[in-house]
Structure 1
Amino acid sequence: MRAMSYDTYGDLDVLHPSELPEPKLAPGAVLVEVRSASVNPVDWKLMAGGLDGLMDVVFPVVPGWDAAGVVVRTGPDVPELEVGDEVLTYARKDLVHGGTYAEQVAVPAVSVTRKPAAMSWDEAASLPLAGLTALRMVELLDVGSDDVVLVHGASGGVGHLAVQVAHARGARVIGTASERNHDFLRDLGAEPVVYGDGLPERVRALAPEGATVVLDAVGGVLEQTLAVLAPEGRHASITEPSVEEHGGRWVWVRPDGAALARLTALVERGQLRVEVQRTFPLEDVADAVRLSQEGHVRGKVALRVSDGVSEG
């Protein structure tokens, strides 16, 4: 199968086109023919060796943990899925090896849910990791209609989904972003504020009692979080383990098909949409990763892997 892979840690120059064997299919797993994948910061951090020591790696590595595609084969004992089902999945496994920047990926059926018909392949592939991360933060902190929620990095991949999930639960949402993304945030249901120096004062001008919940999707904002947090407020970060020293929660999302189905239910009810800023063909993955590394993406960057030409 066609894939992008790397044989050693390094920068983008270690990533190259490959022809690899079809993935083996364990009991309880499905083989998905990938239509689209998406780029997440963890992909290039892994490639640079940034998580070495945390996860076992077997080279060559095919990066990518997000995918949307079609089930082309099922392993033993997978009654819930059939060949031909259109699905999306957060395909992280305990071993870093066979990812989604490839024509096929094998994943446990419990990590998969069906794709809503109204979602494009690119939108569906861009939902799993970022959406599950947003959902986990919101559910972990039990966000509800009585909350005022501040989302740091509200126009990014995780942030724009966290805004919508919190809004769908009835919370009032304030989101940080550059001014060019303020109308975008308003469309999602958030009150936008500019990030950077003076943020606590700007947030307090909107919510004098402070935010009852703060969700950090960017990192480096702990001091600002604590400055705007209401007494007895809750906070979580996806980048800063040190939040746990200040009563917060550090979130590392896990594969969860049932939780992914809760996200797609929001999509089907019109309460959640995935913003895809740009789509690249698989062979231009280096350009896609560079765009992600710049750190100014609105929503997500997608990779178009296949148009289904091999489908029977």
Structure 2
Amino acid sequence: MSRAVIYEAFGGPEVLQVREVPEPHAGPGEVRVRVTAAGLNPMDWGIAARPEVAAQFGITVPSGFGYDFAGVVDEIGTGAEGFAVGERVYGGALGRAAADFVVLATPGGPTESLWHTPEGIADEVAATLPVAGMTAAAALAAIDLRSGDTVLIGGAAGGVGVFAVQLAKLAGARVIGTASQSTFEFLRQFGTEPVAYGAGLADRVRALAPGGVTAATDLFGTETAETALALGVPPERISTIAAGPNPPVGVRPTGGFDASPDATARITDAILAGEITVPIAATFPIEKIRDAVTAQAERHVHGKIVVTL
């Protein structure tokens, strides 16, 4: 037997249970990963809490939990290629990551992915990369961010935001990030100029950047996208990742699945070069999954939350 986080009804953290389940094994064309860390994302608890969101991902209850993971390949099915027993890996498995074992096809299917973990990157860090790193890369690629831009990033202190602000700085942009006052010093360490979200955002941004904003990405809702439009940013230079069913007209909805194939390699190279820092706000053992999700859902953490196994 092995452990997995399971929920049998949609709801808050209280529906999550650590269960003993039959140990899975790799079949033909598959590999099994012994998971050591699972990174949490807003979409994880959004799927578990809201059946309409789960339906968009094809998930029904009972279901496993989580997407991002890192670990070690410990079983190879016949015909599986590209990986060997003992290799460290990280990736994504929709609704299955928070478990002792994850079985994936090689190459990955539409809702799963697997990459080799570079030497020098810890599993806890690797487990934060698939959703947040890929989504940040896609959000900036969608607006063709380039050197000399002044970019407004909404939700800059969140899990995706900490990657987006650093990738934007690496691209040569000036970065203004919306956040709560309590995260301002945290953001400044990444070269971001913080600005409080909420009523009056456009006026505060004008005061910071009287020369104007040239691009924007909204990583939470639509406030930043709507502010950017009001500031005269062309809609094709504004992206959103969580705008709901009715994003502002003309802006570019995107997500991690739109990221370029080399996005993860670019991010891990930047981490190894010291150009990107991955702040881990807290780690929780799998037995504390409810506490981990509660902390993540409060959206006041500085960086990523990781569950360890």
Q: TM-score scaled by structure 2?
A: 0.89
The residue aligned with 1:308 is none
The residue aligned with 1:100 is 97
The residue aligned with 1:51 is 53
Question: Over residues 264-306 of structure 1, what are the superposed CA-to-partner deviations in whole Å (9 max), with x where a residue is unaligned?
Answer: 122122221211111111000001111112121211111011x
**220, 238, 241: which one aligns with 1:238:** 241
For 1:56 and 1:194, locate their aligned partners in 2 and report how far apart those are by CA, in whole Å. Answer: 36
Contact persistence 2:90–2:127 (CA under 8 A): yes
The residue aligned with 1:276 is 280
Residue identity opposite 2:71 in structure 1: G
The residue aligned with 1:267 is 271
**Paired residues for 1:217-228 under 5 Å:** 217-221=219-223, 222-228=225-231
The residue aligned with 1:10 is 11
**Unaligned stretches of 5+ residues in structure 2:** 108-112
**180, 203, 214: which one aligns with 1:212:** 214
Determine whether 1:90 maps to 2:92: yes
**107, 121, 124: which one aligns with 2:123:** 121
For 1:53 and 1:129, locate their aligned partners in 2 and report how far apart those are by CA, in whole Å. Answer: 19
Structure-2 change in CA distance of 1:255 and 1:29 (3 Å): farther
**Unaligned stretches of 5+ residues in structure 1:** 306-312
Contact persistence 1:66–1:128 (CA under 8 A): yes
**Secondary structure at 2:11 match in 1:** coil
Superposition RMSD in Å? 2.2
The residue aligned with 2:40 is 39
Contact persistence 2:138–2:258 (CA under 8 A): no
> Alpha-carbon deviation of 1:21?
2.2
For 1:178 and 1:34, locate their aligned partners in 2 and report how far apart those are by CA, in whole Å. Answer: 34
For 1:259 and 1:16, locate their aligned partners in 2 and report how far apart those are by CA, in whole Å. Answer: 34
The residue aligned with 1:248 is 251
Question: Over residues 96-118 of structure 1, what are the superposed CA-to-partner deviations in whole Å (9 max), with x where a residue is unaligned?
Answer: 5xx11101112244422222333
User: How many residues get paired?
Assistant: 300
Structure-2 change in CA distance of 1:47 and 1:231 (3 Å): closer
Question: Over residues 120-167 of structure 1, what are the superposed CA-to-partner deviations in whole Å (9 max), with x where a residue is unaligned?
Answer: 322221222111100111122221103111111111101111001111
For 2:18 and 2:181, locate their aligned partners in 1 and report how far apart those are by CA, in whole Å. Answer: 39
Residue identity opposite 1:191 in structure 2: E
